[in-house]
Amino acid sequence: MLVINFFFPRTCINCHLPGDYLCKSCKKLLTPHPEICPYCHKFSADYKTCLNCKTDRSHYLEWLIVVFSYQNLIKKLILQLKYYHKSDVANFLTDRLALAISTNKALSEKFKISYVPSHRFRHYCIKGYNQSKVLAQRLSEKIWLPWIYTAKKTRSTHTQAGLNRSQRLSNLENAFQIDAQKIWESDTILIVDDVTTTWSTINELAKTIKSQFPKVKIRWAVLARNNK
């Protein structure tokens, strides 16, 4: 036992049972998210963009897997990852992410892994941590596929929460700039993120990549989707 565990014994973040950060029975409370199309939210096997939504040219994503239904417990776990940088939580969440990806039949080809960039100011001065990057790097180690940069965030944007749809879109306009020495036209890129409130960030980053590499396939995987 680590000395630190003796002084600060670990307890389940949900039911406070001593032992682990998440006890066995609380792990079972995490339920998978239903398979839906990322745009119209109707049922779509393997989370693929449905044929109907594919015809809309402002839709840049071909696939978006959501690992968990958004409940209090996954919210708590993501907070632990985001603000307390808990390594074992990151490990557990990456395991589940890897499982969801490897069992998804729509992703049969090899892919490169990437993440949602944060602005340098935000990254170093405010949070010091980009949880999307941490997930991408850990996933890369787990499933033995490379991770790459795709874009830089050129300016700091307001957080998307509390903005309406048109404010969200203008908030993000030209926020990303391609930064890609390792992207090829034949690539499939899987971008991972912790949680998504709207598709606007996702769509803007996908649009930026597609503007330079129109043939690249962009897939996305998030731990949870906040549908409030």
Interacting residues with Zn ion (CB under 5 A):
12, 14-15, 17, 23, 26, 37, 39-40, 50, 53
CB of 17 to Zn ion, least distance (A): 5
Taking the least distance from each CB to Zn ion, the nearer of 36 and 175 is 36
Q: Is 47 left (phi over 0), alpha (psi -120 to 50) or beta?
A: left
CB of 36 to Zn ion, least distance (A): 8
Candidates 140, 120, 145, 143; CA nearest to 130 is 120
CB of 101 to Zn ion, least distance (A): 21
CB of 136 to Zn ion, least distance (A): 26
CB of 49 to Zn ion, least distance (A): 6
Taking the least distance from each CB to Zn ion, the nearer of 52 and 87 is 52
CB of 54 to Zn ion, least distance (A): 8
Contact 140, 112 (CB under 8 A): no
d(CA 143, CA 195): 21
Contacts of 72 (CB under 8 A, 6+ apart): none
d(CA 176, CA 153): 5
d(CA 109, CA 62): 14
Taking the least distance from each CB to Zn ion, the nearer of 23 and 148 is 23
Taking the least distance from each CB to Zn ion, the nearer of 66 and 151 is 66
Candidates 120, 119, 123, 102; CA nearest to 111 is 102
Taking the least distance from each CB to Zn ion, the nearer of 15 and 161 is 15
Taking the least distance from each CB to Zn ion, the nearer of 22 and 180 is 22
SS3 at position 202: helix
Contact 187, 214 (CB under 8 A): no
